[in-house]
Amino acid sequence: MRLTLKHQIILAPAVVLLLMALLLGFLQYTYWDLSRKREEARNIGTVFVSLAEAELATQRMHSLLMQIGDEPLVDIRCFNELDGLYEHIEGATGRILALLPLPERSQALLRQAVSDLNPERGINVDRFNAAIVMLRPELNSLSTLIQRQREKLRGLHSQDIDELVAHTAFVSIVVLGSAILIGIFLSMFFGRSILRRIKQLSDSAGRIVLGDLTPPPAPVQVHDELDALALSINQMTDRLLRVVGTEKLLEGAEEERRRIAMDIHDQTLSDLASVLRGIQDVKSEGTCRNEAARIEEDLQRAIGNLRDVMENLHPQTLDILGLGPALESHLERHLNKDDMPAYHLYVSPRIDALALSRTIRLALYRIALEAIHNVIKHAGASRYEVNLDRRENVLLLSVEDNGSGFDPSVLRGSGHRGLYNIQERAKAIGAEVFWGASRFTSGTRFELILPLPSTD
């Protein structure tokens, strides 16, 4: 399925933008992963600091408890200091429990030790010492664990950063290079295709302007704007052909009228003038049987010439009997002579069943006579065949001779009025004409192909 023209134009930038979006997504994911690792490193650092803070506060509290144990009364300043140290221990352990995943036993032990160190529950040195003895080993083990994790993360973090930068740079270069190459390839591919089709349409329009009314091939289906333009040019050229064909037919009709007028002037009027002179001679010399017979012959000849003129203007047999009998009548009356080439006429019985319009029948009749006239006048043939047949949904008219042959390239030249008239008459009725080699050993084969409606 062909893409529309606007989709072909935007496909290349759309693919490039898609690849850029994928690259941005990859970079965003990489940054998120790096941020997650940095957050983990910050949490471990916070836990390490909290452990150090809890350890220092525990040591200070232990020293302070030793002083309190030697004195019978507790100084208010010692109580306040114990309360401050407890806040440090409570805050540090709270951060540790929030940021570090610990087994339930360790969590319960830390909470119990912190609860026992609360001065608000009373100053009980034995309870405090027991809590410190329980808390300090746990803090030391956690400090050792966190230190190993920090060292491990420090090495991995530095290694991950280097690998991440190298990996990100490599992927970015690959994606950017691929996007550029794909964009250039798609632009060149669709650009060349569009430019080639535009050039074909431009060449067709140029040929039409120069007088070559050969229409560009019409697309089977209209997929985009250029197909619609090609179809429009094809239809425009077809209509222009019909208009030009009509003009040429009018010119041909005018030429035919001029020729008929000359025939009437040169032949028929001359015959009638001869008859008039004969009548005048008879009037002046008296009755003469021989002169009367001669006048009668002249009148018969004049009448025959007038009938020929009428037949050339419009063959009556074409309207009365049809196309095939009209051709047969013309060949029998005018071309069945000893000094003329032998001929064979075949008209398929299926032709009579065709509902051809009067214009088409007259055009086919004129074209057939013009082709036969060309054989007699120019081919130097001793035999020719005329066939009128129907093949599937086309009507086929062919005239084939064994003459000297014919070069179809002369159609592009001038001075071949008869051939040009054949082409224009054929275009006017929507038919195509061809000249090629004859099936005889020499000569030319003329073919006319007229498409017929499928309902015929």
Domain parsing of the chain, residue ranges: 5-188, 219-313, 314-456
Which pLDDT score is estimated for 400? 94
Could you give the percent of the chain with pLDDT greater than 90? 10
Kindly report the pTM of this predicted structure.
0.43
Which pLDDT score is estimated for 164? 67
Contact 298, 281 (CB under 8 A): no
CATH number of 314-456: 3.30.565.10
What kind of fold does domain 5-188 have according to CATH?
Answer: Four Helix Bundle (Hemerythrin (Met), subunit A) (1.20.120)
Which pLDDT score is estimated for 450? 93
What mean pLDDT do residues 174-181 have? 81
Which pLDDT score is estimated for 399? 94
Query: Which has more pLDDT, 339 or 151?
Result: 339
Could you give the percent of the chain with pLDDT greater than 70? 73
Which pLDDT score is estimated for 205? 75
At 374, phi and psi to the nearest 5? Answer: -65, -40
Look at residue 448 and tell me whether its pLDDT is greater than 90: yes
What mean pLDDT do residues 420-425 have? 83
Across 117-126, 254-263, 302-311, 386-395, the highest mean pLDDT is recorded for 386-395
What mean pLDDT do residues 340-349 have? 91
Query: Which has more pLDDT, 41 or 295?
Result: 41
